[in-house]
Amino acid sequence: EKMIELIKNRSDIGAGTRGSDLGIDAIEIAAINKGSQYFINYPFVDVPTRNSSIYQNDNHPFAKHIQQIYEQCKQVASTVEDSLSSGNFPLVFSGDHSSAMGTISGIKSAYPDKQLGVIWVDAHADIHSPHTTPSGNMHGMPLAAMLNEDNIPCKINEIDESTQEFWNKLKRIAGPVGKILSNHLIYFGVRDTEEPEDLVIERLGIKNYRVEDTRQRGITDCVAEALKILEACDMVYISFDVDSMDSELISDGTGTPVPKGFLPREIVLILEEIIRSGKVICFEIVEVNPLLDNKGNKMAEVAFDILERITPLIEL
């Protein structure tokens, strides 16, 4: 039996639009409005943020706020590591998805000798490096850092020394570079990528279960295959970006909304089947942005409903 510990990481500086820091409290408000005791039932940790750094000049156009994001991820890593070392299940609530560099680094530093499998549920591949990013927003880069994959063949940006230095530091938070292997990374729902991402995904042979695939083959079949691919992994981390869901049918309360995504019940099924493997040691939910939600607090409400559904399985 695992004891859930909530980690609230209200950092939003890796996104192009502010406001995902408010996503965590929006989810909590959704819980309160539903009469749920969820957020008082579990112990929690607040991770201090560097969000005030948006007032400072930043000279890293191809990796915006990289220094503060590095410091933030270091702190997330040590929080996650502490949680795992105390025998807890870290349930991480983050603002923007650059946080995953901290979470993954923390897991690896708690279990340096174990292979980590990653299930990335997202509309985006988040596998740009500063050399290929079209936006400079670091929430589009966490997987490149964790894979130690700069994708130099697809380079389009000329990055400076300071960017390179912090990028290298990000890759080796709390341990050596190459936190995960490309054959231990599996996407669900990726459908909005740029060419350098398509090329690196193809070169590394990273598996993506598209929304259509899961509907044609069935979720159970796809997840079973994914778990087979991750057979050699002793532990699995699920990173759930809410933009994996259909922005038109569900909600656009997220920084980079994309239509034609999953429905909430499909997300629940995917997550449940993965958690049933018994290998999941950490779950993260990111990118709820209530300021962008045209349906009130819909995205946070949906996110909380999903969380409520999967939590009993985590606790088994």
Sites of contact with ligand LYS (CB under 6 A): 97, 124, 126, 128, 133-135, 137, 139-140, 194, 256
What is the rounded CA–CA span in Å between residue 294 and residue 316?
A: 36
- Closest contact distance (angstroms) between CB of 82 and ligand LYS is 27
Pick 14 or 117: Cβ nearer ligand LYS: 14
6: amino acid identity, one letter: L
Q: How far is the CB of 151 from ligand LYS (least distance, A)?
A: 12
In angstroms, how far is the first alpha carbon of the chain from the final one?
6
Structure tokens at 165: 């230095």
Q: Which is nearer to ligand LYS, 192 or 308 (CB)?
A: 192
Task: Enumerate the β-bridge partners of residue 205.
Answer: none
Closer residue to ligand LYS, CB minimum distance, 194 or 301: 194
Closer Cβ to ligand LYS, 11 or 109, answer by number: 11
Other C-beta atoms within 10 Å of 101: how many? 28
Residue nearest to ligand LYS (CB): 140
Q: Please give the structure tokens belonging to residue 19.
A: 């406001």
The smaller minimum CB distance to ligand LYS, of residues 113 and 158, is found at 158
35 Cα distance to chain centroid: 28
H-only helix segments in the chain: 23-33, 38-41, 66-85, 100-110, 142-147, 161-171, 195-204, 211-217, 219-229, 264-275, 298-315
Q: How far is the CB of 154 from ligand LYS (least distance, A)?
A: 13
Residue 34 CB, nearest approach to ligand LYS (Å)? 27
**Do 53 and 175 contact (CB within 8 A), yes or no?**
no
83: left (phi over 0), alpha (psi -120 to 50) or beta: alpha
What is the closest distance, in whole angstroms, from the C-beta atom of residue 22 to ligand LYS in the complex?
A: 16
